[in-house]
Amino acid sequence: MSVIVTASNGWVHKPITEADAAAFMMSFRDYPISPGETPISYEERLTRFSESLMVNDVGTLPITSDKIDGIFRVYGMYKPDGTFVGQRTYGFFTAGEVNILNLTVHPDHRQQGYSMGISALAMGLWEHYNITTIKSRLEATPSHAGMAALKATYASHSINVDAGDHPSKPTSLDASGNTIDCKDLIATYAQAEALVASSATWKDITCIIS
């Protein structure tokens, strides 16, 4: 149902499994937006993990026409020794496009450049599924310093990080239960490729799909 991306440096981008439960939920423990609770509760994280496992088994990619309900995939990023580093959730609604719905990195692995690494591994997915447009939605003022730096890096590579204004969804509120101001992000495949090419660590990897 889903493919696995294996990079030439041994890193892997693949659908999460039950074995990732503890690491996955630690990654979301201080996720900045939740149903009005900070940190996001264990029960909320458990529900998210269960839902993530289920969506990975639904639908077939790539899509060839608009799909209102979408197809979703939750992919983990793994070191060559199998250590879970973080995850991304992808939504596919329109042929040739992907929506990055969230990104989390395990607390033990933050501030080490792995957000760029997951972008590099994802290029294998984009090529395999003929993705030409990458979309996401970011906090207007990121809660985490790492995300603020990443947003600035996107902008420095001409990726549009101010493509629209939206409040967060009812399931994504701040600690007071209020919506959060968000900005749309839109990037082309070429821009995403240039972003990865700017990384000394990740620019030379090649990916194999299995």
**Tens of pLDDT along 27-43?**
988 876 655 556 678 88
Cα atoms in the 13 Å half-sphere on the side-chain side of 135: 14
pTM score: 0.91
For every residue of 43-80, DSSP letters joined together read HHHHHHHHHHHHHTTSS-SS-SS--TT-EEEEEEEE-T
Helical H segments across the chain, by residue range:
21-27, 42-55, 114-128, 145-156, 189-197
Ordered by start, the domain boundaries in the chain are 5-205
In this structure, how many other beta carbons lie within 10 angstroms of the beta carbon of residue 80? 11
In this structure, how many other beta carbons lie within 10 angstroms of the beta carbon of residue 149? 13
**Tens of pLDDT along 192-208?**
999 999 999 999 999 99
**Tens of pLDDT along 146-157?**
778 888 999 999
The answer to whether the beta carbons of residues 62 and 130 sit under 8 Å apart is: yes
Taking CB atoms within 8 Å and a gap of at least 24, the contacts of 16-22 are 16/49, 16/52, 16/53, 16/56, 16/74, 16/75, 16/76, 16/87, 17/53, 18/53, 20/76, 20/84, 20/87, 21/49
User: Is beta strand 165-167 parallel, antiparallel or unpaired with respect to 207-209?
Assistant: unpaired
How far apart CA 141 and CA 89 sit, in angstroms, is: 21
Question: Would you identify the CATH topology of the domain 5-205?
Answer: Aminopeptidase (3.40.630)
Strand order in the sheet with 165-167: 165-167, 181-188, 133-139, 97-105, 84-92, 71-78, 12-15, 5-7, 207-209
**Tens of pLDDT along 106-146?**
999 988 989 999 999 999 999 999 999 999 988 888 877 77
**Tens of pLDDT along 76-103?**
999 999 999 999 999 999 999 999 998 9
